[in-house]
Amino acid sequence: MGVEFNTHPGTAIGAQRPWFSLADMARVRPRLCGGILIESATMFSRYDMHAHSTASDGSLSPSELMRRAHAAGVEVMALTDHDTLNGLSEAAAQAQELGLGFVPGVEVSVTWEGITVHIVGLGVSADTEVLRRGLEGICEFRDWRAEEIGRRLARHGIDGAFEGARAYSNGQLISRTHFAHFLVEKRHASDLRAVFRKFLVSGKPGYVAGQWAELEDAVRWIRSAGGQAVIAHPARYGLTRSKLRRLIGAFAEAGGEALEVVSGSHSRDDFYTMARHARDFGLLASAGSDYHGPEHPWIQLGRVPKLPDGCKAVWKDWHLSH
Is 119 strand, coil or helix?
A: strand
- Alpha-carbon distance of 113 to 225, in angstroms, equals 25
- Alpha-carbon distance of 21 to 208, in angstroms, equals 45
- Alpha-carbon distance of 49 to 230, in angstroms, equals 10
Q: How confident is the model at residue 44 (pLDDT cuts 50, 70, 90)?
A: very high
CA dihedral 280, 316, 229, 238 (to 10 degrees): 50
Neighbouring-strand partners of residue 295: none
> Of 132-146, 170-184, 245-259, 263-277, where does mean pLDDT reach its minimum?
170-184
pLDDT in tens, 57-71: 999 999 999 999 999
Burial label for 113, CB within 10 Å (0-12, 13-18, 19+), is exposed
Reference 145, options 224, 212, 73; nearest CA is 212
Q: How confident is the model at residue 42 (pLDDT cuts 50, 70, 90)?
A: low
pLDDT in tens, 94-126: 999 999 999 999 999 999 999 999 999 999 999
Average pLDDT of span 269-284:
98
* Pairing label, strands 16-21, 320-321: parallel
Per DSSP, helices labelled H in 109-214 are: 129-155, 161-168, 176-185, 192-195
* Pairing label, strands 76-79, 101-112: parallel
Domains and CATH numbers, the chain: 3-135+211-321 (3.20.20.140)
Q: Using alpha carbons only, what angle is made at residue 19 by residues 15 and 22, rounded to the nearest 5 degrees?
A: 150
The mean predicted confidence, pLDDT, of the chain is 87
Average pLDDT of span 143-159:
95
Residue 17 has pLDDT above 60, yes or no: no
Taking a C-beta distance cutoff of 8 angstroms, is the pair 124, 85 a contact? Answer: yes
CA dihedral 249, 250, 251, 257 (to 10 degrees): 50
Residue 274 has pLDDT above 50, yes or no: yes
Residue 5 has pLDDT above 80, yes or no: no
Reference 229, options 210, 213, 242, 240; nearest CA is 213
Average pLDDT of span 193-203:
93
Average pLDDT of span 67-79:
97
Taking a C-beta distance cutoff of 8 angstroms, is the pair 321, 19 a contact? Answer: yes
List all residues 6 or more positions away from 125 whose beta carbon is below 8 Å from its beta carbon: 5, 16, 104, 131, 225, 226, 227
At residue 190, what is the residue type? S
Residue 226 has pLDDT above 90, yes or no: yes
Average pLDDT of span 7-27:
33
Taking a C-beta distance cutoff of 8 angstroms, is the pair 27, 44 a contact? Answer: no
Is 234 strand, coil or helix?
A: helix
Residue 297, H or E segment: none
What DSSP state is assigned to residue 35?
T
Measure CA of the first residue to CA of the last residue in the chain; give whole Å.
10
List all residues 6 or more positions away from 59 whose beta carbon is below 8 Å from its beta carbon: 292, 293, 294, 295
The fraction of the chain above a pLDDT of 90, given in percent, is 78
HSE (side-chain half, CA atoms, 13 Å) at 3: 24
